[in-house]
Amino acid sequence: MAVVDGAYVFQGPNLVLPHDADDKQAFHTLSRSLVFNSFDGHCEIPTVDGEYGMAACMLDTSAALPKGWRSIPIRQALSVAARGIVTAGSPEGLLFRAYHIMQWRRESRYCGSCGSLNGDAPQGLARLCPVCGRQEFPRISPAVIVLVTNDRDEALLAHNANFQGGIYSLLAGFVEAGETLESTIIRELREEVNIEVDTIQYAASQPWPFPNSLMLGFTARYAGGALKPDGKEILDAGWFSRDALPNLPGNGSVARFIIDRWVSRGT
């Protein structure tokens, strides 16, 4: 694995860049000396982890940026620069890893058992409470996302209440305690759009640190039920053919990857 001798700067869900940096290069690390000289004293700048050697800074969301710096939403940078799915070790994957870990570091300042200020474990990526000895590792929340097709070879796409710009995407949901990935898919589709599915097959996975997900992509076949959005989380849903698709999610997401694969290969 290549070691990345560089650093990132984050502010909430945004990536902080020099004004003259191209958005298409947003996923590449900055020089450590530039970051340290510009932000030392404004935030903790730890080495994210020893595996890749990345360093990162997480600014307070209300902090003013130094002269010559700007911020860009990470998702916007992803849609501009990424092609295909985000993979481990790619520039996008490394940035996602750094962002995920930095969010977790901020959220794990205090021990979840006794409330003491956390420290870092001497080895590995973990928090270690100096009082009760509790170890904490970065939280990863598995979520499923599924492309459902029917006998007319149409795909089920839905508009979530949180989507902007009239975007339609795949149905998704978090895995609950005691569930398998397949049972989560069945439950989510029943709850959100009132349908049944079968022939569930794995498609692809992707880290998605907004805030801490691992997206597990699947395909499935429609097996019955009248399509009916729940009206709360899902505002609209419909069956779409390849030549009449609505506005889709941006490049770089596993949802777009699975949709594009279906469009191009019919799978």
Q: Say which range, 52-61, 232-241, 253-262, has the weakest mean pLDDT.
A: 52-61
What pLDDT does residue 264 have?
A: 92
- Interatomic CA distance for residues 194 and 128, integer angstroms: 45
> In this predicted model, what pLDDT tens digit does every residue of 48-85 receive, in sequence order?
765 566 788 899 988 899 999 999 998 888 877 666 78
CA distances (Å), 110 to each of 45, 113, 127, 128, 132, in order? Answer: 18, 9, 9, 10, 12
**How much is the average pLDDT of 148-158?**
97
Query: Helices in the chain by DSSP H: which ranges?
Result: 32-39, 74-81, 91-107, 181-193, 254-265
Pairing assessment for the beta strands 14-18 and 7-11 based on DSSP bridges = antiparallel
Structure tokens at 45: 């700048």
What pLDDT does residue 71 have?
A: 92
Half-sphere exposure of 217 (CA within 13 A, CB side): 20
Which positions ≥6 away from 240 have C-beta within 8 Å? Answer: 154, 155, 156, 157, 168, 246
**How much is the average pLDDT of 204-219?**
95
> In this predicted model, what pLDDT tens digit does every residue of 11-29 receive, in sequence order?
999 999 999 888 777 778 8
Would you say the C-alpha torsion 139, 232, 254, 155 has a positive or negative sign? positive
Rg of the chain in Å (alpha carbons): 21
pTM (2 d.p.)? 0.88
Structure tokens at 197: 């599915």
What pLDDT does residue 82 have?
A: 62
- Model confidence band, residue 2 (pLDDT cutoffs 50, 70, 90): very low
Max mean pLDDT among 98-102, 147-151, 263-267 falls in 147-151
> In this predicted model, what pLDDT tens digit does every residue of 164-200 receive, in sequence order?
889 999 999 999 999 999 999 999 999 999 999 999 9
Which positions ≥6 away from 102 have C-beta within 8 Å? Answer: 8, 10, 48, 56, 57, 58
Residue 53, Ramachandran bin (φ over 0: left; ψ between -120 and 50: alpha; else beta) = left
Are 229 and 193 in contact by the 8 Å Cβ rule? The answer is yes
What pLDDT does residue 144 have?
A: 98
What pLDDT does residue 51 have?
A: 59
What pLDDT does residue 251 have?
A: 83
Residue 126 β-bridge partners: none
∠ CA 140-146-79, nearest 5°, is 70
Percent of the chain with pLDDT over 70: 92
∠ CA 73-244-255, nearest 5°, is 35
Strand, coil or helix: 196: strand
**How much is the average pLDDT of 91-102?**
88
Average pLDDT, the chain: 90
Q: Looking at the predicted structure, is the pLDDT value of residue 262 above 90?
A: yes
